[in-house]
Structure 1
Amino acid sequence: MAALLLVPALHTQTAFGQGKGKLVYFIPVEQEVERGLEAFLNRSISEAEDAGADHIVLELDTPGGAVVAAGNIAEILQNSKVPITAYVKHKALSAGAYIALNADQIVMKPGSLMGSAAIIDQQGNTAGKKAESYWHAAMQSAAELNDRDPKIALAMADPDVDLPEYGAGKGKLLTLKANQALKAGYAEKIVEDRTELLEYLNLSDAKVKDMEVSISEKIARFVTHPVIVPILLSIGSLGLVLELYSPGFGIPGAMGASALFLFFFGHLIAGFAGWETFILLGAGILLIVIEIFVPGFGIFGIIGSISLVTSIVLASGNTFQHILFSILIAILITFFGSFLFIKFFGYRGFLRKLILFDSTQTEQGYVSNVTRRELEGASGITLTQLRPSGVALFNDERLDVVSEGGFIPREAQVKIVKVTGSRIVVREFKRETNEVIRED
């Protein structure tokens, strides 16, 4: 095996076409690998097949990206009816290297790089053992498709693989330069430009068709990026919620609606969202509005929220774990954003017309009952029997009073022991001795 790695592989290239009258599609694979790129490649390869193309060239210059998107792209390449060449113009790293390995052959430009394909999570940390095991197997399987040494592919993804002859000792991921890739059998040819590439493919006289990413596909690629998804959902939910706290329809509502529109439109163009997602979205919004205006014990709101979340999950095209993580981020940002807005600006939304937010407070001059504390300790006489309520006279003033619970006869001596609002509590006593009669 070591001798095989040190000896350049000799390739006898079989021509994919005869040149004249042939058609070659050049498809750019640039920037990060995500679901938007997957949709663009799927459309481009389908168009090439429908046009009867004789060859497809993927021009790679990518730092890598999402594993899910890379896996789907690999499947598209393997199912293509047209031969595919991966032309590494600058770099094909991580998921880009995996895509290149799934092409029928690899051609590199001088100074280009391929490799460094460790799998990491969104926080930049090494993924779990399960994910690593899957990715290592996927890299090796891709290499074996065209009889390439799987150990080299594994060294691109696993730093524990020791290949010092290619500059990848233990603890370092393998990244092949163009001449190293040619030596290891990971590239069939090194060419300077398209002209040399077409000559190598025996298609120098072929008609060239350049595929371009449309405006809508550029939007789709942007909004389907794993980092952009939680940002759009956060802006969308926070904007719409803040709009409820603001009078009229203003900037927060416009920003929220635009963010959600971009999310669903981008995923629709990318082919991940169907019209059923828009139906669920509309139904969710309608049910939440009904919950606001029609008391439904929360049922309409709960069903509406479930409908909204379901529409986002179906439209995302991402893994279930990733989209739930994005939704959780959006919920947290919306909660804290709303809390800070209400704290510093107060509530000024349209619900002010439906809900009474004002309250009558003593500090503002609102007093329902005057508590006459000055009456406590005053003595008087009952004008009626107290059973336990009645009337008593205190300093020529008739007052409605109540005993502490027992019976007090008419014309009995009483003393006010407690005043709370309009409630005046009295207790019977004898004036001669000023002895309070305590009741059992």
Structure 2
Amino acid sequence: MPFLVCLTMLMAVSVPEVRAQETSYKGKVVVIPVGEEDLIARARFEFMSRTLERCTDEGAEAVIFELDTPGGLLWDTVDLMMNDLQKLKPRSYAFVNKRALSAGAMIAVATDGIYMAPAGTAGAASPVYGGGQEMGDAERAKMNSATMGMARAVAKRKGHDPRVIEAMIDMSRELKIGDLVLDDKDSILTLDAEQAILKLDNGKPVFAKGIVDSLDDIKKAEGLKGETVIAEPTGFENIAIWVTKYAALLILIGVAGGYLEMQAPGFGIPGFVSIAAFGLFFFGHYVAGSLVGQEAFATVAAMFVIGIALIIVELAIFPGLLVPGILGFVLVMVALVYTMSGWEMPVAPVVPGVPAEPGEGGRFDLNVYATGLRNFAIGILGAGVLILAVFRFLPQTGPFQRLVLATSIDGGDAMMPPTVTLQVGDEGQACSALRPYGTVQFGERRVEAMVEGGYLQSGSNVRIREIQGPKIIVEAVG
């Protein structure tokens, strides 16, 4: 398809061109804001990863994460704290302003120093399912053990007391300072600013080095001299964040547009809308990072195109054969779901100077594909509802009737409106393919008719099953 070729060329040049226009981070203090929805958007994680890589390559003085988040995606957070933050050469700090809960607390312990706003809170990092469903006891123990192992390794590497992050993850852990109980075995640890700066028995702060009012206070406390710059996504990165956030909507538009395009000969607006929706879908995920590399993009694009071709074969050439349609649907589903989920999975923590915790390696985990499967299901179901609504309501409106008339007649006399001379049971012959609308000859009269729940080829013998005002519904004879 030509549009895929153009899209591939655009992808090859877009990201380098954007980076070339960015100002250098050399000698600067780079602030990465982490807001309420940032840790649930995979494209935002990719943006943070690229920013940290730039900070190392360009020689930034320091990186400060300004955290105000209720949490987010576990595995993406683990990847950020175990890989990207461990490779970062400049010093890193976390400013809890105002919340660093769940994934936010884990990012904080992966930095070299933590500071709290006066009203800041941090903790409550126990893993949960995004859909809100409960974990079984064995599954909970297994997930907590794996998460604690990864967080503990990073905390040790950064000089934080690992007991604190363990108490934030596992309810069975308790944390005391002398006779002061910060957390017992019936709760998960969440600290306020005053608790966070208390000293443990080993002389280390519980969580934070101090309470500050602003980023400038952190710079003074750490002796940072560089200019403060806020890292913000570029234009293409903003597109990627938007696309990954509304991927289900693009699938809905693409599927509905493609199906409506196949209902009439020629190529019209629904086809262009479908191409635009799927083109934006793949381009956005490419920029977001889930289709990094030409091989990955070429493979996914080929699967998608082959799947669409098989679906067209099923609907337009061999209706009812089923095999091409089912195979095509599976290929399209795999391509779309992988595109929304094709991220590198974090491995067991390997942090310099800290023994690796035992892990399960690269075991397949269906939860990794949960978001992609959910978006795909929403898109397909939404497209089905939209298509049914179009065929139920729009054919009775003037603009849609004119569209059907203009695209369905193969030639010859214009169709005449149905009259009382036609009645249920009358038989005729299809003058054009019915997908589901087309032209049917009843004696000397040609009229527009439709078939429900299927497809009829030109020349098929049909019978009137139902007449609904101006709409004639036919069925195959024999």
TM-score (norm 1): 0.66
Query: Does residue 64 of structure 2 align to residue 41 of structure 1?
Result: no
Q: How does 1:297-376 map to 2 (within 5 A)?
A: 297-317=321-341, 319-335=368-384, 338=387, 342=391, 351=435, 352-353=437-438, 355-356=457-458, 359-361=462-464
Q: Is the 8 A contact 2:53 2:84 kept in 1?
A: no
* Structure 1 portions without partners, runs of 5+: 1-20, 365-440
Displacement of 1:153 in angstroms is: 1.4
Match of 1:54 in 2: 61
Cα deviation, residue 268, structure 1: 1.0
**Counterpart for residue 73 of structure 1:** 80
Query: What pairs up with 1:16-415 in 2 under 5 angstroms?
Result: 22-32=27-37, 33=39, 34-74=41-81, 75-127=83-135, 128-129=139-140, 130-163=142-175, 165=180, 168-183=183-198, 184-203=205-224, 205-225=225-245, 228-244=246-262, 257-274=275-292, 275-276=297-298, 277-295=300-318, 297-317=321-341, 319-335=368-384, 338=387, 342=391, 351=435, 352-353=437-438, 355-356=457-458, 359-361=462-464
Alpha-carbon separation, structure 1, partners of 2:466 and 2:274: 39
For the residues of structure 2 that align with 1:363 and 1:65, how far apart are their CA atoms? 53
Q: Partners in 2 of 1:248 and 1:43 — Cα distance?
A: 44
- The residue matched to 2:463 in structure 1 has which SS? coil
Structure-2 separation of matches of 1:359 and 1:54: 77
Change (3 A) 1:206 1:248: same
Helix, strand or coil at the partner of 1:118: coil
Q: Distance in 1 between matches of 2:101 and 2:52?
A: 22
Residue 175 to residue 331, structure 1, CA distance change in 2 (3 Å): same
How far apart are 1:252 and its partner, in Å?
A: 6.4
Q: How far did 1:316 drift? A: 1.4
Displacement after TM superposition at 1:221 (Å): 2.3
Q: Alignment identity in percent?
A: 30
**1:304: Cα distance to partner?**
3.1
Cα offset, 1:73, TM superposition:
1.0
User: Which amino acid counterpart does residue 30 of structure 1 have in structure 2?
Assistant: G
Equivalent position of 2:13 in the other structure: none
The 1:111–1:80 alpha-carbon spacing in structure 2 relative to 1, beyond 3 Å, is same
Equivalent-residue separation in structure 2 for 1:282 and 1:193 (angstroms): 52
| CA deviation after TM superposition for structure 1 residue 242, in Å | 4.7
Whole-angstrom CA distance in 2 between matches of 1:245 and 1:170: 63
Cα distance in 2 between the residues matched to 1:54 and 1:362: 77
Check conservation: 1:139, 1:157, Cα contact below 8 A: no
- Which one has a bigger Cα radius of gyration? 1
State the TM-score, normalized to the length of structure 2: 0.62
Bigger CA drift: 37-46 or 301-310?
Answer: 301-310
- Write the deviation string for residues 186-238 of structure 1: whole angstroms up to 9, x where unpaired: 112222212221111212x323333211232223223334xx44454344434
- The DSSP-based 3-state class of the residue aligned with 1:224 is helix
| 1:37-84: CA deviation from partner (whole Å, max 9, x where unpaired) | 211111111211221122222222222111121011112111212221
- Return the offset for 1:315: 1.4
Structure 1 residues 166 and 176 mapped into 2: Cα distance closer, same or farther (>3 Å)? Answer: farther
- Paired amino acid for 1:29: V
Comparing 92-101 with 339-348, greater Cα deviation is found at 339-348
Aligned residues: 341
* Alignment partners' CA distance in 2, 1:333 and 1:209: 42
2:355 matched residue in structure 1: none
Q: Secondary structure at the match of 1:25?
A: strand
Change (3 A) 1:363 1:160: closer
| 2: CA distance, partners of 1:294 / 1:252 | 20
Contact 1:90–1:109 (Cα < 8 Å) also in 2: yes
Give the partner amino acid of 1:272: S
Secondary structure, counterpart of 1:140 in structure 2 = helix
| Cα pair distance change 1:234/1:139, threshold 3 Å | farther
Task: Report the 3-state secondary structure (helix = DSSP H, G, I; strand = E; otherwise coil) of the residue aligned with 2:197.
Answer: helix
Contact 1:273 / 1:317 at 8 angstroms: preserved in 2? no
Write the distance in 2 (CA, Å) between the matches of 1:22 and 1:333: 50
The whole-number CA distance in structure 2 between the counterparts of 1:42 and 1:182 is 29
RMSD across aligned positions (CA): 3.4
